Chains A and B, each alone.
Chain A
Amino acid sequence: MSLPAVARKDFQDTVRSRAMALLIALFSGLLALMAYAVRPTGEGEGFATELLLSAFVGPILLTTLVPLVAVVIGYNAVSGERESGSLKLLLSLPHSRADVVFGKVIGRAAALSLAIAVGFLLPAVVLIAIPVSFNAGAFLGYTVFAMVLGWVFVSIAVGCSAAASTQRRALVGGIGIYFLFVLLWGTLTGQLLGAFESVIDPLPVSLIQVQTFLEVANPNTGVQVLANAFLADQLFAGDMRNQQISATAMLVFWALAPPLVGLLKFDRDDL
Chain B
Amino acid sequence: MTAIELHGVTKQFADVTAVDDLDLAVEEGEIYGFLGPNGAGKSTTINMVLDLVRPTTGTVTVLGRDATADSVDIRRRTGVLPEGFSVYDRLSGRKHVEFAIESKEADAEPEALLERVGLSPEDWDRKAGGYSKGMCQRLALAMALVGEPELLILDEPSSGLDPAGAKEMRDIVRAEADRGATVFFSSHVLGQVEAVCDRVGILRDGTLVAEDSIEGLRDAVGGEETLDIETAGVDETALESVRALEGVSQVTRVEGSDGRIRVNCADDAKTRVIGALEDAGVGVSDFHTEEASLEDLFLAYTEGDSASPGTDGDDEETAEAPTDGDEARSASDDEPEGDDDEPEMEPEGTERDEAGEADGTGERAEAEETEETDEGTEETDEGTEETDETDPTATTEEVER
Residues of A within 8 A of B (CB): 2, 5-6, 8-9, 12-13, 16-17, 84-86, 88-89, 91-96, 270-271
Contact = CB atoms under 8 A, between A and B. Distances in A.
9 contacts: A9-B88, A12-B91, A16-B91, A85-B82, A86-B88, A88-B82, A91-B52, A96-B72, A271-B52
B88 A13 contact: yes
A85 B86 CA distance: 5
A13 B99 CA distance: 11
Contacts of A91: 50-52, 75
Given A5-B102, A88-B84, A94 B91 contact: no
Given A13-B91, A91-B50, A96-B72, 16 more contacts: A5-B102, A9-B95, A12-B91, A13-B88, A85-B84, A86-B87, A91-B52, A92-B75, A92-B81, A92-B85, A93-B80, A93-B99, A93-B103, A95-B72, A95-B103, A270-B53
Contact of B143 (A13, A89, A271): A89
Contacts of A270: 13, 47, 52-54
Interface string B73-100: 1011001111111111011000110011
Contacts of B95: 9, 12
Contact of B76 (A5, A84, A88, A94): A94
Interface in B138-169: 140, 143-144
Given A17-B90, A89-B87, A271 B53 contact: yes
Nearest to B99: A9
A270 B99 CA distance: 24
Nearest to A99: B72
Which one of A9, A17, A85 has the greatest number of beta carbons of chain B within 10 Å? A9
Pairs A-B, 3 closest by C-beta atoms: A92-B80, A88-B82, A94-B76
B231 interface: no
A92 B53 contact: no
Nearest to B84: A85
B72 A94 contact: yes
B218 interface: no
Contacts of A8: 102
B86 A89 contact: yes
A141 to B, nearest CB: 32
A11 B351 CA distance: 50
B81 to A, nearest CB: 8
Which one of A5, A9, A16, A93 has the greatest number of beta carbons of chain B within 10 Å? A93
B104 interface: yes
Contacts of B289: none
A213 B275 CA distance: 96
A86 B103 contact: no
A271 B100 contact: no
Nearest to A15: B90
Given A12-B95, A16-B90, A89 B103 contact: no
Contacts of B83: 88
B71 interface: yes
Contacts of A92: 50, 75, 79-82, 85, 140, 143-144
A89 B155 CA distance: 12
B143 A93 contact: yes
Nearest to B144: A92
Given A92-B50, A92-B143, A271-B52, A84 B104 contact: no
Which one of B47, B75, B76, B143 has the greatest number of beta carbons of chain A within 10 Å? B75
A93 B91 contact: no
B85 A5 contact: no
Contact of A84 (B53, B82, B86, B103): B86
Given A94-B73, A96-B72, A89 B85 contact: yes
A84 B75 CA distance: 21
B59 to A, nearest CB: 17
A85 B85 contact: yes
Which one of A8, A91, A92, A271 has the greatest number of beta carbons of chain B within 10 Å? A92
B84 A93 contact: no
Nearest to B11: A270
A94 B75 contact: yes
B85 A2 contact: no
Contact of A5 (B54, B86, B99, B143): B99
Contact of A94 (B47, B53, B103): B103
A95 B143 CA distance: 14
A263 to B, nearest CB: 15
A207 B160 CA distance: 65
Contacts of B71: 96
Contacts of B99: 5, 9, 93
A96 B99 CA distance: 15
B156 to A, nearest CB: 12
A84 B47 CA distance: 16
Contacts of B144: 92
A5 B71 CA distance: 17
